[in-house]
Each structure stands twice: as structure tokens, then as C-alpha cells.
Amino acid sequence: MTTDKRHIISILVENEFGSLSRIAGLFSARGYNIHCLSVAPTSDDSISRMTLVTYCNEAKASQLMKQLDKLVDVINVKDLTDETHIEREMLLLKVKSTLKQRDELKRLTDIFRARIIDVTDTTYTIELTGPSEKILAFIDSLGKIKIIEQVRSGALGISRGSESLEIKK
């Protein structure tokens, strides 16, 4: 048995009701975990694009790709993991900001190229996009600053270069 590895998978699926639960159901029925999942319509609004991250070994990953492809609603599916690709995730973070912490927070947001998008007398809300590692590094760097609320979009992925996930003819 090989060890588990992170797999980031892109799926084009008919934007019909039930499609999402078919995919989510496949994961639970076949014993895969969904680490994160994002879904939204594409430029053709009859098609949705999903990006999904799961951890599993090679044999299970290859079986998963076949099972996803077998779903009648799935138009195309691709494991981006082993090809050059770009990943982005968005973080919305509400933190406590006492007067003393404001400078430090401002400095950290600058270093990570994050943005402060809402302010109250006791809180900051910060927006950050980047690969998942960057998001985690940012959260780590906050140290003693108290996080009130954390919202992550989950990873989005796209291949580099002219490669694309096509609608199979």
C-alpha cells in the first residue's frame, strides 16, 4: 500500500440539481474524504466546475477518477496534482484588534499582501488569496491575536499553459 497523498481534482459537471449530491455521495459511499470542495457555474451556465481536494493513495486515486468519470452527470474530470497547475484559495478572517494590535495586524496584512476589508472599534476583517500554504502561514503568523471567525473558500485549481479541461465531444 502506498501512502496517502493530497490530490486536487477538477470536475466539469452538468449544472443540474442533484449533481453535487451525486459527487458528494460517491465520496462517502466509497470511503473517500472530501477535504474541501468548491463549485460554481462556468461561462456556459449549464455547466458547473468543481475543485475538490482529497487525501488518498495512488490506487484509490485512480479508482476515484474512474468512478467520477462514470457518473452520468460528469462531463470531464482531471487530477491536477501531477501536472503543473495553479492553485488559489480565499480566506476571510475576522480577528479581534485591540488598539495595541492594530499596527501589528496592518504589518502582517501587508507582508502577506492581504487586505483589510472591514473595521469596527474592536475587530478587523481581512481578505487574503493565495495557495493554501500561504493561507495557513498567514493564520499561523497571527500568534496571540484572537480569531473570531474564519471562512475559507477551499482550493481552486487550473492547469498552467494552454492546457484546459474540455467538454468532451
Partner 1 sequence: MKLSGSEIIIESLKKEGVEYIFGYPGGAVLHIYDALFAAEKIKHVLVRHEQGATHAADGYARACNKPGVVLVTSGPGITNCVTGIATAHMDSIPMIVISGQVSRQYVGSDAFQEADATGITRPICKHNFLINDRESIAETFRKAFIIATTGRPGPVIIDIPKDLTDPKVKINFEYKKNIKIRSYNIKKLESDEKIKDAAKLICSAKKPMIYAGGGVILGKASNELVKLTKHLNFPITNTLMGLGAYPSSDKQFLGMLGMHGTYEANMAMHDCDVLLAIGARFDDRVTGDTNQFCPKAKIIHIDIDPSSISKIIEVDHSLIGDTKQILKKLLDHTKYFKKDINKDALSKWWRKINSWQKKKCLSYKKSTKVIKPQSVIETLHKITKGKSFVTSDVGQHQMWVAQYYKFDKPNRWINSGGLGTMGFGLPAAIGAQLAYPREQVLCVTGEASILMCIQELSTCLQYGLPIKIITLNNRYMGMVRQWQEFFYEGRYAMSYMDAIPNFAQLAESFGHIGMVIDKPKDLEKDLTHALSHKNRLVFVDVITDETENVYPMIMSGKGHHEMHLAPSANEDIELA
Where along the sequence are the contacts to partner 1 (CB under 8 A)?
Answer: 13-14, 17-18, 21-22, 25, 29, 59, 62-63, 66-67, 69-70, 72-75, 167-168
CB of 71 to partner 1, least distance (A): 8
What's the rounded Cα separation, in Å, for the pair 108 and 138?
8
Quick check: 98 and 122 in contact, CB under 8 A? yes
CB of 103 to partner 1, least distance (A): 52
Pairing between β-strand 47-56 and β-strand 5-14 as defined by DSSP bridges: antiparallel
Of 69 and 104, nearer to partner 1 (C-beta) is: 69
Quick check: 13 and 73 in contact, CB under 8 A? yes
Of 59 and 111, nearer to partner 1 (C-beta) is: 59
Of 29 and 99, nearer to partner 1 (C-beta) is: 29
CB of 140 to partner 1, least distance (A): 39
CB of 79 to partner 1, least distance (A): 15
Helix or strand or coil: residue 64? helix
Residue 92 vs residues 117, 128, 130, 160: alpha-carbon distances, Å: 9, 7, 12, 26
Of 22 and 94, nearer to partner 1 (C-beta) is: 22
